[in-house]
Amino acid sequence: MFSGSPDIDKDKDGRYEIDCDSKIFGHILEFLRLEILPKGDDVDAVLNYSEFFGLYELSDKIRKQHGYPSKQMSEDRFW
């Protein structure tokens, strides 16, 4: 997530600004803290955000749990 690209903005005090729907980001934090996968209507949005932020462990587990096809391994997965 902080490994290089895409660039993540910082505020005037040097804190990272992550532009993400707070409800969706809550699911991401829940996974990072407790490894709980999202359920319900937010799954697709969490999958999209997790891939955007490079959280491939989360996106791979969502794909497996919901029967979505695996995403092709590509160089852009390893910035």
Model confidence over 48-75: pLDDT tens digits? 999 988 899 999 999 999 998 887 654 5
In the chain, domain spans: 22-68
Expressed in angstroms, the distance from the first to the final Cα of the chain is 10
pLDDT of residue 71: 78
Q: Residue 46, class by beta-carbon neighbours within 10 Å (0-12 exposed, 13-18 middle, 19+ buried)?
A: buried
pTM to 2 decimals?
0.74
Is residue 5 predicted with pLDDT exceeding 60?
Answer: no
Is the pLDDT higher at 76 or at 18?
18
pLDDT (average), residues 8-29:
87
> Measured between alpha carbons, how far is residue 33 from residues 10, 37, 73 in Å?
23, 11, 26
Residue entry with tokens 């029967």: 67
Please give the Cα distance from 41 to 30 (Å, whole number).
16
Instruction: Choose the weakest-confidence range: 2-6, 14-18, 54-58.
Output: 2-6
